[in-house]
Chain A
Amino acid sequence: MPAPEGDRREPEVKRHQRRRRIHPFFTFCRCISPKDVLQYIKCDHMAGGKRGEALDTVYEEEIMRGVRLTAVRADRFKTGCLSLTLLAPHTKKTAAMNAALPYVLRRGTARFPDMESLAGELDALYGARIEPAIRKKGEVAALGFCADFPDGAYLPGRTDVLSGVVSLMGELLLAPATRGGRLRGDYVLSERRNLIDDINAEINDKRAYASLKLVEAMFRGENYALGKLGTAADAGKISAMTLTRYYRELIACAPVEVFYCGPEEPERVARAVREALAAMPRTGAHARPVTERGQGNERAGEKRLRETMDVTQGRLVMGFRLSEDAMGRGPAALGVFNALFGGSPTSRLFLKVREEQALCYYVSSRLDMHKGALFVSAGIDFDGFDRVHGQVVRELASLAAGECLPWELEGAKRGVTGAILAALDDPVGLEGMYLDRAILGLAARPEELAALCELVTAEDVAAVAAGARLTHTYFLTAEEKDA
């Protein structure tokens, strides 16, 4: 599936998976995602592959004004992966439009004016998928399309699927279905309604909902407080006129990242992308949007929020701001710290809070390096708030006091390194890492970052832990029963 996290909603459940009861630490494997450790790497002196292994050829070039192509050539893959991403500020004014636009564009083009004819063209390209995507990276919205498709080598007549996909993606972006010079009103209205439905459905997944509510309260007044999809009220204001105006502004001004990974020659990909985007009016400044770090009110104590709902299990989320000093330790240190604290099955939170004390079904930490924030999320009993909250605070204090054991540090380093190196064999994982790298303007490539993780010290980990300040706690619990 193209960039799972890029989908506005979770993609349809993979076959054979719906009835699988996945072992709970599955969630930890996701939390240790290399994407979490890639950001803010300022080091450009690392070079070459790990232990002398050959690296894939990586081609990086600005192929048009404000359009950058990263192409990773790897002939071990039978699948090509292509993404086209526009970077825009994630603000109250733009968030809902950012989320709606890729979906409106995906409804039809001048040549394939409806979903049925588009789907027919994708069938002809051997079931290539081009999916709309919206991702929130700090206070930057990354919107566009992600595609994956089979490589021609194993298809009848060695069909050239790549050219077809690149050109169709170009059409989706630059030649949408229009009426009277505007994006089609019926498509805009229909996707506006779908977006509002999606925003209303955020309540369905209680764990994710709890995190959204925490972020909303914790970053009030900052753009980061806004959910990826914006608010239902702002979505309701979208019209064909406003969205068309915004669309024109974006294709003229937004920086564009194109990523390809697969067996094709990068030069061929570059040619195809240049052709597909030839009509793009690159007249704007292409200023890269940035995230304001911010420290919130440093004197305020911890704020506790509580909400009741008809649930069978409590959901606790704790939010921490990371100090400039903590962030200054760099992405490798931050990634290793997170793996050690709550981002892996060898972490303090997993081993002590879940396994040893059996206080919760899941507990994990996630670190957002774009914003400089740390989140702990746990599924707990309704009466377990104080015990879990207390234990999480104690574990963090213990790490800040330098009580990290050598085996813990080694395990965390190996975990992060292993995840990054494994992602090099996964085009979708690579896409995510390179997008983060591009948004933050970093020099080091993923394999170089893996090498940096091995240099992280116990002192780095203690410094990151010491720089984490708990500002907000959110608890979703059951309604009180009447006596």
Chain B
Amino acid sequence: MLKKQEYAAVGETVYTGETSSGLGVTVVQKPGYRKSMAFLAVNYGSSHREFKLGGRLCRTPAGTAHFVEHRLFEVEGGDNALTTLSERGANANAFTSPDMTAYHFECTDFFYENLALLLNFVSTPYFTQEDVERERAIIAREILSAEDDPEDAVYYGLLRCLFETPALRENVAGSVESIGEITAQTLMDAHRAFYVPGNMALVVAGDRDPARILDMAEELMPGSPAPAPVKLAGPPEGPLPVTVSARRPMDVGAPLFLAGAKAKCDLTGPESVRFELTANLALSSLLGEASPLYRELYDGGTVNETFGYDFENTWGASMLSFGGETQKPEYVCMRVLEEAAKLAAGGIDPDFFQRRKRAALGSALRALDSFETVCYNAAAGRFAGYDYFDTVKVLEEVTAEDARAFLAEYMALERCAISIVDTKG
């Protein structure tokens, strides 16, 4: 039985529950929509490289989670689930992040047939050594292709400045060398450890029947609840970066940079949402488009519309970052840190902060129209132990003092590192 819950503040009706095997099931009712999305997420990503499987310690090469994702579409008998879904008019895809792998489709017709296929192919591995060899070539090309991307380069440059743990420094797809070590057995071990119902969540958004969805999940992903997989993390990260700067010349039109710092990493549940909202409000107050600093830098021609910020919270790590294209990366970084110190000492103007919150509320409401955002966040919420649909409530509680304290603690010179991609010559 799924539990029905109405979220009057945001006008959403959500059914949640679990199958007897422990698979989390969430159905977000979207009356009047023709399209529906099904999103099957696994609490497993590129940073989960070491784990225990039946008492055995497994150490897997970088890129294993992504490799599993690539191969799983292959169904025994030579069929490919992606092809089948596409033939039925569905728009299907998958992604791997540091802490999640997800398979999803969006369609207007054949929804339940597509859902059955999704539940089936994700839970039925079919890995042959021959297929693994072929896929290795495709993934190697994908890795090389991304190496020409300056935004990827500047981003991974920052990760390598900040983090010590190998799993947090590396590309989600791994490297050409690391994927060379992956065998069909590696993929099988990862699948057996993580692709178990209790470690997964199914989220559906659309005008569909919740009871029927639960029945299908019950039937197609059977089993008895198993203990959660044991993921082995390295020693906790210290607050300071490993190195303070990295530079790389590339064929780019203008230099770009990304600076950032590690933030708290031990939060779970509603606290982690609150922290993330605080971080975003603090950063938007400091250098968002409405801030005096943004105006100063943009009007002065030092930055352009690519200038922005981000905050990421994943398994074992969280990180704030800011950057964009500029001829003066170090100068921009220093101005941001100076301004942060000023706000940390003098506080954020309460009226200004209130307006930032108002904008954040509007943005949270708008996000509810995106099925992918809703499904992703509902699944992430289940894995991290919070209710995504309560975000608006949590947002109300964040104060200007919280944001000031965030800037004081994390936007300090000694915590920051900077990654720069330079023009050649």
Contacts and interface: CB of A to CB of B under 8 A. Distances in A.
B321 to A, nearest CB: 9
Contact of A197 (B82, B109, B253, B363): B253
B142 A203 contact: no
B151 to A, nearest CB: 8
A22 B95 contact: yes
A445 interface: no
Contact of A150 (B70, B141, B362): B362
Contacts of B294: 115-116, 119
Interface string B242-271: 000000001111100000000000000000
B368 to A, nearest CB: 5
Nearest to B174: A21
B301 interface: yes
A292 interface: no
B95 A154 contact: no
A311 B148 contact: yes
Contact of B362 (A115, A116, A127, A425): A127
B381 to A, nearest CB: 12
A310 B82 contact: no
B290 A202 contact: no
A9 B66 contact: no
A194 interface: yes
A77 B369 contact: yes
Interface string A128-145: 100000000000000000
Interface in B148-190: 148-151, 155, 171-173
Nearest to B69: A23
Contacts of A120: 290, 355
Contacts of B365: 78-79, 126, 150-151, 154-155
B202 interface: no
B312 interface: yes
B97 A19 contact: yes
A312 B87 CA distance: 34
Contact of B145 (A16, A126, A127, A313): A313
B306 to A, nearest CB: 7
B299 interface: yes
Given A127-B359, A345-B83, A21 B369 contact: no
Contacts of A351: 83
Interface stretch (A36-44, A57-65, A316-324, A414-422): A414-422
Interface centre among A23, A119, A203 (most CB of B within 10 A): A23
Given A116-B294, A312-B144, A12 B108 contact: no
Interface stretch (A240-248, A354-362, A434-442): A354-362
Interface string B5-16: 000011100000
Interface residues of A, number: 90
Contacts of A407: 87
B366 A148 contact: yes
Nearest to A379: B145
B107 interface: yes
Contacts of A345: 82-83, 86, 92
Interface in B305-359: 305-306, 308, 310-312, 314, 325, 355-356, 358-359
A194 B305 contact: yes
B229 interface: no
A360 B90 contact: no
Interface string A13-55: 1011011111111100100100000000000000000000100
Given A12-B308, A360-B141, A200 B253 contact: yes
Interface stretch (B26-34, B218-226, B406-414): B26-34
Contacts of A197: 253-254, 304, 325
B39 to A, nearest CB: 13
Nearest to A347: B86
Contacts of B82: 25, 345
A190 B362 contact: no
Interface centre among B31, B35, B82, B89 (most CB of A within 10 A): B89
A149 B90 CA distance: 29
A201 interface: yes
Contacts of A148: 366
A83 interface: no
Contacts of B291: 116
A203 B252 contact: yes
Contacts of A354: 138
Interface of A is mostly: mixed
Contacts of A15: 310-312
B361 interface: yes
Interface in A106-134: 114-116, 119-120, 122-128
Given A116-B292, A360-B141, A201 B325 contact: yes
A194 B89 contact: no
A459 interface: no
A150 B369 CA distance: 10
Interface string B375-394: 01000100000000000000
Interface string A322-348: 000000000000000000000011100
A375 to B, nearest CB: 18
B147 interface: yes
B358 A18 contact: no
Contacts of B35: 421-422, 424-426
B298 interface: yes
B129 interface: no
A410 B87 contact: yes
Contacts of A381: 141
B145 A78 contact: no
A282 interface: no
Most buried by A among B92, B137, B299, B366: B366
Given A20-B97, A21-B66, A114-B295, A424 B34 contact: yes
Given A149-B362, A309-B251, A123 B290 contact: yes
Interface string B57-80: 000000000100110000000001
A267 interface: no
B96 interface: yes
Nearest to B12: A78
B202 to A, nearest CB: 19
Given A123-B355, A358-B137, A79 B366 contact: yes
A153 interface: yes
Contact of B108 (A149, A344, A422): A422
Contact of A200 (B80, B148, B254, B366): B254
B93 interface: yes
9 contacts: A9-B305, A16-B97, A21-B142, A77-B369, A123-B290, A127-B363, A200-B254, A310-B424, A411-B83
Given A126-B362, A418-B108, 9 more contacts: A23-B69, A78-B11, A120-B355, A203-B251, A345-B83, A410-B87, A419-B89, A419-B91, A422-B106
Interface of A: 8-9, 12-13, 15-16, 18-26, 29, 32, 53, 74-79, 103, 114-116, 119-120, 122-128, 148-151, 153-155, 161, 186, 190, 193-194, 197-206, 309-313, 344-346, 351, 354-355, 358, 360-362, 379, 381, 407, 410-411, 414-415, 417-419, 421-422, 424-427
A-B pairs, top 7 by smallest CB distance, nearest first, are A418-B89, A127-B359, A126-B362, A414-B89, A200-B253, A127-B362, A119-B290
